[in-house]
Amino acid sequence: MANPWTGEAEVRIDGVSHICKLTLGALAELEARLGEGSLIDLIRRFEGGAFSSRDVMAVVVAGLRGGGWRGTSDDLMTAEIEGGPIGAAQVAATLLARAFATPT
């Protein structure tokens, strides 16, 4: 079960639950993968609803890797993510929000 207080989110892939977290290393990997702009640009795209499927995949993979998963984006190309593209986008948005939220 994911702990939202530590920035974790949960995603089900092919019926198996995985914990995701955007650790500093995962964020650095995400930034390198995107190759252009900054993480702030990425967050703005999500906030404005102008994100791409490439953005979603990059965030989900980075979050999975931050949670200890050892796969790659190629492993997700034929995988079934619960909720489909919308579910994946929700997980990505949740991860970004939790990574940059200040504790209350």
Cα dihedral sign, 2-70-78-24 = positive
The domain segmentation of the chain, as residue ranges, is 6-100
Residues 6+ apart with CB under 8 A from 101: 7
* pTM as predicted: 0.90
The pLDDT of residue 10 is above 90: yes
Confidence band of 13 (pLDDT split at 50, 70, 90): very high
- Please give the backbone phi and psi of residue 51, each rounded to the nearest 5 degrees, phi first: -80, 160
**pLDDT tens per residue across span 53-103:** 999 999 999 999 999 999 988 999 999 999 999 999 999 999 999 998 876
